[in-house]
Amino acid sequence: MRNRSDGVELSASDLAGHLGCRHLTALDLAAANGDLAPPIWYDPGLEALQERGQELEQLYLDHLRAQGLTISMPGPHEDGAALERTLAALHDGADVIYQATLAHGRWRGRADFLQRTDSASDLGPWSYEVVDAKLVRLTRAGTILQLCLYSEIIGGLQGLLPARMHVVTPADLRPVPFRVHDYLAFHRLMQRRLAAAVDVAAVGRETYPDPVAQCDFCRWWRRCDDRRRGDDHLCFVAGIARLQIDELRGRGIATLAALADMPLPLDPKPARGAEDTYARVREQARVQLAGRRRAAPSTSRWTSPRDRACAGCQSRPKATSSSISRATPMPAAAGWNTSWAAPPAVPQSPITTPAGRSTPAPSAPRSRPSSISPWRAGSAGPTSTSITSRPMSRRPSSA
C-alpha cells in the first residue's frame, strides 16, 4: 500500500490481507500516510518460506527453458520503466514473461509468470494467462484474489480477459487451471470492500484488532496484542470461542473481569450455543482472574449442572452375577422357544474322485479350546466353568 498524489495505490497483497483482517488495512494505510512507523518484523520461518518460494520459481523457470520456450524478463520491479518493459514484452509475443510488472488505475502487482496462449487479442494472434507458483498443496482464497487481480489487469492491457489462471505447486510442476469467471464476482466484491475500507479509514473511523488467523504471520501482531491485553479482551479466556465472545458482547460483557463476575444462570438464555458452555467459560475466567490477583496459578474443578444432576447415577449399586441369578426370569413372549438344543449335525456324503473312487469326506478341523470363549470345544451347550472377559449370553442351559 502506497500513498500517491492521486490516491492510495493498492496491491494484491493488500487485497488478500483485507480478506483476513480489516484492521490490517487501517494499520497499513496509517503507515502509508506516515501516521505510524512500520514495525521491524523478522520471522525466520517466513524467511525460510520466501526462500523456498524463490527456489520453486527458479525450478519452474528451468522447466520452461528445458522445453525450448523463449523467456522475457522485464527487470526490477522498483524501476519506473518496469511497466513499459512489460508492455514491450507483451507486444513482442514472448512465450513466457517472468516477473511481469502490472498496473491499472490504483491497482498494482507483479505476476510470477505470464504464459502465452493462442487466443487472439489486441496484441496479435496471441494473448497471455497468469501463472503463479505456490508452495501450498491447496489453493487459498487469497491466492485466487491475487490471480483474479492480475488477470483483470492483463485483460485491460491486451484487450481480452484471460479465460483461465493457473497455480504451480511443487508436486509435479504442472499448472492447475482455474476459470477466471468462476471467481470474478467474489474478486470484485472484495475490491469494493477494500476500497470502501480505505475511504472509511481515511476519515478516521476506527477498527478493532480482533484476533484472527492472519495474526500468526502479521507484522503488526505485537501492537495488536498489547492493545488487547490492555483492554482485558475476552480472547484471553482459555477455551472461549468466537461465537461466545460475540454473544457476551451483545450482553455488555467485553472483558475477562466482567465475565468472571457474570451472574449465573444466564437470563435470558443465550441465542447461540449451549448454556453449559457459558457457565464453563465463566468459571474459567473466574479462575484466571483469581490467579492474576494472587500472581500465582490457580486451579478449580468444575462440573456442569448436567453432570451434577447425574451424579446420583454413579452411587447406585452395580449389578453382580448373584443378583442377576436371583432376578425374576422374564416371561417368554408368545411364539418364542425358550429351550435350547444343539443344531442337528449336517450329514456328510462321500466325495467322488474323477477316477470313480470314493473317499470319505474330510472331517472338520478340531478347534483348540480358548480361555476366553464362553463355549467348550466339542460341547453341545454352555458350561459353568468357561472363562470369558465378555458377558455370556443368557440362554438357558440344556441341562
Give yes or no for a contact between 166 and 176, defined as CB atoms under 8 angstroms apart: yes
- The residue-averaged pLDDT of 133-155 equals 91
> Which phi and psi (to 5°) does residue 162 adopt?
-60, 145
Residue 172 DSSP label: T
- The residue-averaged pLDDT of 250-275 equals 89
C-alpha 143/C-alpha 12 separation (Å) is 9
Residue 120 confidence (pLDDT) above 90: yes
Q: What is the pLDDT of residue 113?
A: 95
Residue entry with cell 442377576: 324
Residue ranges of the domains in the chain? 2-202, 232-307
- The residue-averaged pLDDT of 354-377 equals 46
Q: What is the pLDDT of residue 350?
A: 53
Give yes or no for a contact between 166 and 175, defined as CB atoms under 8 angstroms apart: yes
- The residue-averaged pLDDT of 191-209 equals 80
CATH class of the 232-307 domain in this structure: mainly alpha
pLDDT in tens, 253-264: 999 999 999 988
Q: What is the pLDDT of residue 306?
A: 58
**pLDDT band (50, 70, 90) for residue 391:** very low
Q: What is the pLDDT of residue 89?
A: 92
**pLDDT band (50, 70, 90) for residue 83:** confident
Q: How distant, in Å, are the alpha carbons of 8, 62, 82, 86, 333 from that of 79?
A: 19, 25, 5, 12, 92
CATH class of the 2-202 domain in this structure: alpha beta
Report which residue type is found at 230: G
Q: What is the pLDDT of residue 9?
A: 87
Percent of the chain with pLDDT over 70: 71
C-alpha 120/C-alpha 257 separation (Å) is 65
Residue 141 confidence (pLDDT) above 70: yes
DSSP string for residues in 40-72: ----HHHHHHHHHHHHHHHHHHHHHHHTT--EE
Give yes or no for a contact between 26 and 197, defined as CB atoms under 8 angstroms apart: yes
Strand pairing report for 96-104 and 351-352? unpaired
Range with lowest mean pLDDT among 94-108, 173-187, 198-212: 198-212
Residue entry with cell 462440573: 303
Residue entry with cell 487479442: 121
Strand pairing report for 96-104 and 71-72? parallel
Q: What is the pLDDT of residue 205?
A: 72
